Amino acid sequence: MTKPTLALRSVSKMFGMTAALTGMSLELFPGEVHAIVGENGAGKSTMIKIMTGIYQPTSGHVEIDGAEVSLHGSKAARLHGVAAIYQEPMVFPDLDVAENIFISASRGLWLDRKATRRQAAELMAHIGMKLDVDRVASGLTLAEQQAVEIARALSQNVRVLIMDEPTASLSAHEAAELRRVARRLADQGVAVLYISHRLEEVFELADRVSVIRDGEHISTNLIADTTPQQMIAEMVGREVGNYFTKMASTTTDEVLLSVRDLAVKGVFEGISFDLRRGEILAMAGLIGARRTDVGLALFGITPATEGEVRFKGRPLKPRSAQDAIRAGIAYVSEDRRKLGLAMELPVLWNMTLATLATFLRGPGLVDTGAERRMAEDFRKRLNIRTPDVDIAVGKLSGGNQQKVMLAKWLNMNPELLIIDEPTRGIDIGAKAEVHDLIRGFAARGGAVLIISSDLPEVLALGDRILVMREGRQMAIVNHDAADQQRIMALAMGQEKAA
Amino acid sequence: MKKGILTFSPQVLRILALVVVTALIVLFFASQIENYLNGRLFNRISSSVAVMALIATGQTLIILTRNIDLSVGSIVGFTAFATGSVIANNPDLSPVLLVGYAAILGGTFGVVNGLLVAYARIPSIIVTLATMALFRSALVEYSNAKSVTSQNLPAWLVDFPNQVVFSLGEFQFRAGFMAAILVVLTAHIALTRLRPARQFYAVGSNPEAATMAGIDSRRVILIAFILSGVMAGLAGFMFVARFGNITVVAGLGFELKSIAAAVVGGVSINGGSGTVIGALLGTVLVDLIDNSLVRWPVVSEFWREAVLGAMILIAVAADTIFIRRLAKMRAARAHEAAIAAEGAKT
């Protein structure tokens, strides 16, 4: 029997009185893709941090090749061949691709620019990404930044590669590419630990799967010996509602937003659709389809250069977010960390970031009482799990952060809600709750434009589905005529526009 | 044309832009001031750059790591005075030892700053604001209300900065200036070619990712402060050699001038990007304008600081707009290339 490359032996981790991990045992064998599933807050990130040497276990120990090791710091972990890549890529925005890949290389005192560039290009080719290695990382998309991170791990001769929700922000096509890379690494003898909220990809990719819940190991099974239903039941310890089921449409006859031939020169063109009150329109497409850019144009961040937008029957030409907000449009960004929330600020302040002006009383002072009442109200209505609204929003789990983002925009009472990747990187329970909130908003007469790379989500929410490809509108598909294959085919240009 | 611009890296473009702006300013003042463009102008600026370029180089290292060093002026003052005193009391001391003394003394001040910033985790602006005052007071105490005067100094020291290494027509390249340029070039090569030097950029660009990549951020920041101290110490040596007379106010205000030079030279105040060559050109530009405005009757003495301040704002604003445009153009080009590649496949 081969020894596990890396093993956790009854590892526990306490933070003060709180247990993040309790008696966790796990074995990673060379050549296997081992998936970990569990709700947010189940202890996955604590486990990763112990494997990568950032945390030290309170009790229990880590073994590498059967020998007990103590991993003090990420450098020690790397020397043992343990590397991790994350959903939010860890790149250096001011350095170029090649420099990013080889930042932790330690061989040689002098840099060999030529060799570095050549090796970086080779690694990129190995991953199957076309990426100019001279580009500065700040200009890369999330998917490209992730590729850089994988290349960095590859350059360090990884033996254990931990992938923490790597596909959460990728389009279907790129996610498939990434899974192919993960499989290839495993075939070369790397132990891959793969953490994902997307069950379909767990079943497609993994050899074995472990479920963890509340810091404890629940089960480890060969993928053939388990089913999605069993896994979900183990993860949540309860039945999950109709997450994948489409609910009845609440569309009315009143057109709220009418878009004709909208374009931003050099970015996208020819976008035309009507959005009615009570309707949810989902935009599907691969990364690079420029869906987010359409949302940003409607929200006035990058004003459209051509085309016509009518909102509530009147022409609308937002030149800034302020214009759009005044008109009654809210935009929930896909990038919580960068564009969505001020992580160090309290939940309360984040909620009123865009609407503070509505809380002004008398001589321009903020009515902190009203502000707090609103925040408490939303905390209850959106079921935001936080001890109080004064806690820094960065301390909450991803799902609860997403709800705070929604609260931030819902409290301005928008008529049109644009949501970019509404449930990226949040667990299934929170996903269902966010979907209910979106449906509820539409049912009360609002119109929703959703941008999502998660096809089941697109199908579960969209009354109609607008598919984009490389800056062009391919088709608008009614929900009853849509399925995953059809939308993928349109998004990949394999089916002509209907 | 567009494609041509894109083939250069932003850093190279910045340096080219600085050279062009410097040339334009020289031409402008040459048309305004009679007998402007002569050897005296060059000599004046080059001797002043000899001191400031060293400080700006150290400051650049600090800013790259997303920190700031407000104490460099006081370090320059202290080391200038201490170096002057030591050589005045031991006139036979070898020049190499004297330079080494200045560098080590400056480095020691850097250790104090670095330990407080990196290991005690106090923000650098607070640490160096405090040590700026502390080091200056130490100088007042140490000097005991006396001054170093050029009569007490050996001839070799006072003559050193002004020895002509070579001349191009009217322009004399003097030893002080050449030595400073040599140090800056060495720093530039080290910073761009040495593998560990890349860590300065990494720490300033994304501290969290640096930690994840196994970089010891605290050690990197400590080293940056030590090197900045060493550079300020060398600048102190140059200062005493150039002026001869050192009082307790020596080097006052140099910290802000060095920050201005670095920022005008394209070093990002948020860390992670910039070059020491840029900072050198920034030093030249700031000094050029300072020197030229003195001789330009249109601007009164009182407005010189304002013009300098406005220039810093313009430089940084222009740089920001320019870099943003460039990033857009690059992204557009990458997008086009991707579409072209896709088209070629099908």
Indicate the residue of A92, A152, A470 with minimum beta-carbon distance to B206: A92
Q: How many CB pairs under 8 A join A and B?
A: 84
Residue A246 lies in a domain: no
User: CA B292 to CA B279: how far, in whole Å?
Assistant: 20
pLDDT for residue B344 is more than 60: no
pLDDT at position A73 is 83
β-bridge partners, A320: none
Of A143-147, A211-215, A453-457, A494-498, the one with minimum mean pLDDT is A494-498
Residue A333 lies in a domain: yes
Highest mean pLDDT range out of A2-6, A273-277, B38-42? A273-277
Query: Environment class of residue B144 by beta-carbon count within 10 Å: exposed (0-12), middle (13-18) or buried (19+)?
Result: exposed
Shared domain check, A454 and A310:
yes
**A153: nearest CA partner in chain B:** B213
Shared domain check, A301 and A161:
no
Tally: H helices and E strands in chain A? 16, 22
pLDDT tens-digit map of A364-394:
788 888 899 999 999 988 888 888 888 888 8
pLDDT tens-digit map of B71-97:
999 999 999 999 999 999 998 899 999
Contact B209 A90 (CB under 8 A): yes
Q: Which residues of A touch B201 (CB under 8 A)?
A: 92, 94-95, 99
Indicate the residue of B198, B199, B334 with minimum beta-carbon distance to A132: B334
The SS3 of residue A302 is coil
pLDDT for residue A495 is more than 70: no
Residue A241 lies in a domain: no
B266 touches chain A (CB under 8 A): no
pLDDT at position B304 is 81
Residue A498 lies in a domain: no
pLDDT at position B335 is 65
Structural domain count, chain A: 2
Contact A75 B214 (CB under 8 A): yes
pLDDT at position A467 is 93
pLDDT tens-digit map of A113-140:
888 899 999 988 877 777 888 888 888 8
Percent of chain A with pLDDT over 90: 37
B345 touches chain A (CB under 8 A): no
pLDDT tens-digit map of A234-283:
876 654 445 567 788 889 999 999 999 999 988 899 999 999 999 999 99
pLDDT for residue B108 is more than 60: yes
Shared domain check, A152 and A179:
yes
pLDDT for residue B117 is more than 90: yes
Write the CATH number for B163: 1.10.3470
pLDDT at position A314 is 93
Residue A250 lies in a domain: no
User: CA A446 to CA A280: how far, in whole Å?
Assistant: 9
Task: Indicate the pTM of the whole model.
Answer: 0.72
Q: How confident is the model at residue A494 (pLDDT cuts 50, 70, 90)?
A: low
pLDDT at position B147 is 86
pLDDT at position A240 is 47
pLDDT at position A90 is 85
**Mean pLDDT value across residues A398-411:** 89
Indicate the residue of A78, A104, A139 with minimum beta-carbon distance to B331: A139
User: CA B254 to CA B261: how far, in whole Å?
Assistant: 10
Tell which of B212, B275, B324 to mutate to test the A interface (max A CBs under 10 Å): B212
User: CA A202 to CA A232: how far, in whole Å?
Assistant: 12
pLDDT for residue B2 is more than 80: no
Of A303-307, A480-484, B247-251, B279-283, the one with minimum mean pLDDT is A480-484
Of A94-103, A283-292, B279-288, the one with minimum mean pLDDT is A283-292
User: Which residues lie below 8 Å from residue A214, measured CB to CB, with a gap of 6+?
Assistant: A22, A42, A43
User: Which residues lie below 8 Å from residue B342, measured CB to CB, with a gap of 6+?
Assistant: A470
B310 touches chain A (CB under 8 A): no
CB A208, CB A32: distance < 8 Å = yes
pLDDT tens-digit map of B238-294:
999 999 889 989 999 999 999 999 998 989 888 988 999 999 999 999 999 888 888
pLDDT for residue A107 is more than 60: yes
Query: What distance, in Å, lies between the first and last C-alpha atoms of chain A?
Result: 56
β-bridge partners, A410: none
User: CA A342 to CA A135: how far, in whole Å?
Assistant: 28
pLDDT at position A136 is 86
pLDDT at position A169 is 66
Residue A387 lies in a domain: yes
Shared domain check, A402 and A259:
yes
pLDDT at position B340 is 63
pLDDT for residue A350 is more than 60: yes
User: CA A394 to CA A344: how far, in whole Å?
Assistant: 6
Nearest to B83 by CA among B97, B71, B98, B73: B98
Q: Which of A191, A207, A236 is the endpoint of a domain?
A: A236
Calculate how close chain B gets to A210, using CA atoms only, in Å.
Answer: 25
Query: Environment class of residue A273 by beta-carbon count within 10 Å: exposed (0-12), middle (13-18) or buried (19+)?
Result: middle
Length of chain B: 346
pLDDT at position A294 is 95
Of A189-193, A490-494, B129-133, the one with minimum mean pLDDT is A490-494
Element housing B339 (H / E): helix B304-345
Domain extent for B123:
2-345
Q: Which residues of A touch B65 (CB under 8 A)?
A: none
Contact A78 B214 (CB under 8 A): yes
Q: Which residues of A touch B339 (CB under 8 A)?
A: 470
Tell which of A55, A103, A292 to mutate to test the B interface (max B CBs under 10 Å): A103
**Mean pLDDT value across residues B199-210:** 90
pLDDT for residue B60 is more than 50: yes
Distance of CA B61 to the CA centre of its chain: 9
Letter string b/e over residues B256-280, b meaning 16 or more CB atoms within 10 A of that residue's CB: ebbbbbbbbbbbbeebbbbbbbbbb
Structural domain count, chain B: 1
Shared domain check, A182 and A316:
no
| β-bridge pairing A59-64 and A67-69 | antiparallel
Contact A110 B268 (CB under 8 A): no
User: CA B45 to CA B58: how far, in whole Å?
Assistant: 20
**Mean pLDDT value across residues A396-409:** 88
Residue A307 lies in a domain: yes
Calculate how close chain B gets to A486, using CA atoms only, in Å.
Answer: 20
pLDDT at position B1 is 39
pLDDT at position B291 is 86
Contact A136 B201 (CB under 8 A): no
Domain extent for A143:
6-236
- Three-state SS letters, A120-148: HHHHHHHHCCCCCCCCEHHHCCHHHHHHH
B12 touches chain A (CB under 8 A): no
User: CA B65 to CA B5: how far, in whole Å?
Assistant: 29
pLDDT tens-digit map of B12-27:
888 888 899 889 989 9
Shared domain check, A463 and A377:
yes
pLDDT at position B314 is 85
Q: How confident is the model at residue B62 (pLDDT cuts 50, 70, 90)?
A: very high
Q: How confident is the model at residue B102 (pLDDT cuts 50, 70, 90)?
A: very high
Tell which of A75, A94, A129 to mutate to test the B interface (max B CBs under 10 Å): A94
Residue A202 lies in a domain: yes
Write the CATH number for A381: 3.40.50.300
User: CA A62 to CA A28: how far, in whole Å?
Assistant: 11
